Amino acid sequence: MRLFAILLSALCSFATSAFSQSDTVILHTPTGNLHGILVVPQKIKTHASTLVIIHPGSGPTDNNGNSAMTKTNCLRMLSDSLKKAGIASLRMDKRGVAGSQAALIAEEELRFMHYVEDLKSWVNTLAQKKQFSRIYLAGHSERALVSLLPAEQNDQENGLISIAGPGQPAHTLLREQFQTQPPMIHNMINPIMDSLVAGHLVKDVNPMLYSLFRPSVQPYLISWFAHNPAEIIARIHQPTRIIQGTTDIQVNVKEASLLAEAAGNKGKKIIINEMNHVLKKIDTRDQAKQLQSYNNPELPIHPQLARSIIQFITERP
């Protein structure tokens, strides 16, 4: 798997009919095909040559923003809103999910950078097609970090959009989430986390924690823990919108503040009142009511989300 990134960059390509005949696009990779949905406004408007690549959030999430545990259609709704404004979008099924199931990699072989290389390949291929004059990356949740890394390495992207993205390393956030657990759990988790952050596998995992720290997932966690979003956003040059909702029970508003502070004058923080983690308008942090929105595909996304993104794109010359 060490050659994965090199091979992916060199060998990936679109199906020949991707743009002309269908809104389904296929990215060929050495480990299987990745599936995407390209939405291009039929009515040409000022910014019709702008493309937003929407990268789905954490877990086994498809191009609509859905998974086996949730159905929100939040990313499809965002794409629809952009289309109405004359802005094209590409959203994809993550590796191993839905239409990209054929590109599944064994858990013990999967690394965080596989997702980064996938996104880089989408960007490179779309840029080479020259159908779009400007490309923006919009990452949701954990994938906001994935969207930052390609931008750090090249300048093909015209702008970045972090939606409910963390500002701290994943291991720091996980420790914070475990703070409400009893001391016994802390005593078991902290040594495991310390080892993984240092890059060392843990052989003996208590059965109570096996689902989180099973041996097969530890290499991925090590590769994920190594990245600090705030440090990365400080190094990139592209203008950035950092968007966060106030009723998000998964990512706190302070994460957006950390990103904005690190980004300096190239970043702008947008706090959306009553938007939760799945981008819906919810006026409470009550968990039961929040979870209802995680399985309500008809509930619209917060209208200010699309407006903020559209304004970011259209205000630039």
- Ranges of each domain in the chain: 4-169+227-314, 173-212
The domain defined by 4-169+227-314 folds into Rossmann fold (3.40.50)
pTM of the model: 0.89
The whole-number pLDDT of residue 180 equals: 84
Dmax (CA) of the chain = 60
Q: Report mean pLDDT in 10-residue bins for the chain, 317 residues.
A: 32 37 78 93 67 91 92 96 93 92 93 93 87 93 91 81 97 89 90 97 94 96 97 95 97 97 96 97 95 96 97 85
Contact indicator for 180, 69 with CB cutoff of 8 Å = no
Q: From CA 183, how far away is CA 186, in angstroms rounded? A: 5
The CA-atom distances, in angstroms, between 20 and each of 16, 54, 92, 129 are 9, 21, 18, 12
Identify the bridge partners of residue 90 per DSSP, sorted by sequence position: 38, 53
At a CB cut-off of 8 Å and minimum separation 6, what does 9 contact?
Answer: 117, 120, 121, 124
Q: What share of the chain is helix, strand, coil (3-state, %, to 5)?
A: 45, 15, 40
The whole-number pLDDT of residue 43 equals: 63
Q: Which residues of 110-124 are buried (b: 16+ CB within 10 A; e: fewer)?
A: bbbbbbbbbbbbbbb
Q: What φ, ψ does residue 64 adopt, rounded to 5°? A: -90, -10
Q: Which tokens hold the place of 245?
A: 């909702």
The whole-number pLDDT of residue 78 equals: 97
Place of tokens 């592209």: 238
CA distance from start to end of the chain: 42
Between helix 218-225 and helix 112-129 the angle, nearest 10°, is 60
